[in-house]
Structure 1
Amino acid sequence: MNRAYLSIGSNIGDRYQYLQEAVRSLSAVPSITVIKLSKVYETDPVGYTDQAAFLNIAVELGTSLSPHDLLAVCQNIEQELGRKRIIRWGPRTVDLDILLYNDENIESDDLVIPHPRMEERAFVVIPLASISSDAALLQKAAEFDPEKEGIRLWTAFDGDDVFVHTEN
């Protein structure tokens, strides 16, 4: 079983619902197991700043998919949830990025792992470090000043079931 870490973000519409739907969609894929989710963080936009704040989470997965097959699943989920690529780093219903895949380094036309600029972004590193035991990642997260970086704990939740299972 391969281990992958994703970052999921949303800043259009019901941001929390989009995060939930993305995680539910991932967990519905037979070759993916959602292992762990970070808390939800609200973050100021980076790059293109004339847009609403994001909600962001990190997700740990177990999967039998190859990195490129996992990328295809992520892009499919984005499309199903209405993602439009109009402005680079612009507003989006949902964004699923593969951050890490085992200890692999991959550089192809459509996929770079570890994710480029990952370590420069508090909105990626802080949630990721909260579900990882990697010492270097934990150290990197400790170097960020969340207030200065515009990242705030938005909500904690009672178990991963809130994301993975639909409510009755």
Structure 2
Amino acid sequence: MERIYIGMGSNIAAPNQQLCNAIEALALVPNTTVACVSTFYQSDSLLPGQPRYTNAVAAIDSNLAPLDLLDALQAIENNQGRERLERWGPRTLDLDILLFGEHLIDKPRLKVPHYQMQLRAFVIYPLAELAPADLQLPNGPILRVLLTTCPFMNLERIRFT
């Protein structure tokens, strides 16, 4: 089994609930186990005028091939009302494969490590809750170093029951 980190985000249609539903759906993916989930965070949208996002990272263990897992994640997104109308538009749910074991993946449908994850506080800080600080991304950076170079940037930890 591979340890895989999944970035999760939502900024419409009850974002906290969207992430909770996504975690439940991840647990139902064949040959996959949800190992742990980070704290939920709120972050500003990368584009002005959009609602804030709720973000988290899930660590899963899976025997699925990368593209099979991507298909499963996109099915979860679709089941939760994801519409792909514009690249950076608001979304009910966004599930991204951040890291897939120690693999570098460069396919038309999937790039791992995820594009620019090292620049996004809403990815790095939740990831750091789950992964060892000395984790080295397959493309070189070490998580501990990324934390020092990626400012917290208006992240807010969400506490809810």
Normalising by structure 2, we get a TM-score of 0.91
Aligned Cα root-mean-square deviation (Å): 1.3
Cα displacement string for residues 5-53 of structure 1 (whole angstroms, at most 9, x for unaligned residues): 000000002111100111100101231100011000000011x222000
Q: Secondary structure at the match of 2:156?
A: strand
Amino acid at match of 1:154: I
The residue that corresponds to 1:41 in the other structure is 41
In the alignment, is the contact (CA less than 8 A) between 1:125 and 1:140 conserved in 2?
yes
Say if 2:126 is the partner of 1:120.
Answer: no
1:66 and 1:134, CA in 2 relative to 1: closer, same or farther beyond 3 A? farther
The residue that corresponds to 1:57 in the other structure is 56
How many equivalent residue pairs?
A: 154
1:156 Cα shift?
6.6
Q: Give identity over the alignment, percent.
A: 36
Give, in whole Å, the separation in 1 of the partners of 2:62 and 2:151: 33
Structure 1 residue ranges (4+ consecutive) displaced by more than 6 angstroms after TM superposition: none
In the alignment, is the contact (CA less than 8 A) between 1:34 and 1:62 conserved in 2?
yes
In the alignment, is the contact (CA less than 8 A) between 2:8 and 2:57 conserved in 1?
yes
Of the structure 1 ranges 28-37 and 59-68, higher mean CA displacement relative to structure 2 is found in 28-37
Cα displacement string for residues 118-156 of structure 1 (whole angstroms, at most 9, x for unaligned residues): 10111111111111104221321233332xx22111127
Give, in whole Å, the separation in 1 of the partners of 2:41 and 2:145: 19
Normalising by structure 1, we get a TM-score of 0.87
Cα displacement string for residues 78-137 of structure 1 (whole angstroms, at most 9, x for unaligned residues): 000000111222100000000000100010110001111110111111111111104221
The residue that corresponds to 1:77 in the other structure is 76
More helix per residue: 1
Give, in whole Å, the separation in 2 of the partners of 1:36 and 1:133: 13
Give, in whole Å, the separation in 2 of the partners of 1:141 and 1:86: 33
The residue that corresponds to 1:132 in the other structure is 131
| Structure 2 unaligned spans of 5+ | 135-141
Amino acid at match of 2:159: T
Amino acid at match of 2:151: D
| Structure 1 unaligned spans of 5+ | 158-168
* 1:134-153 to 2 correspondences below 5 Å: 134-135=133-134, 136-146=142-152, 149-153=153-157
Does 1 or 2 have the higher relative contact order (CA < 8 Å, sep 6+)?
1
In the alignment, is the contact (CA less than 8 A) between 2:6 and 2:95 conserved in 1?
yes
Amino acid at match of 1:137: L
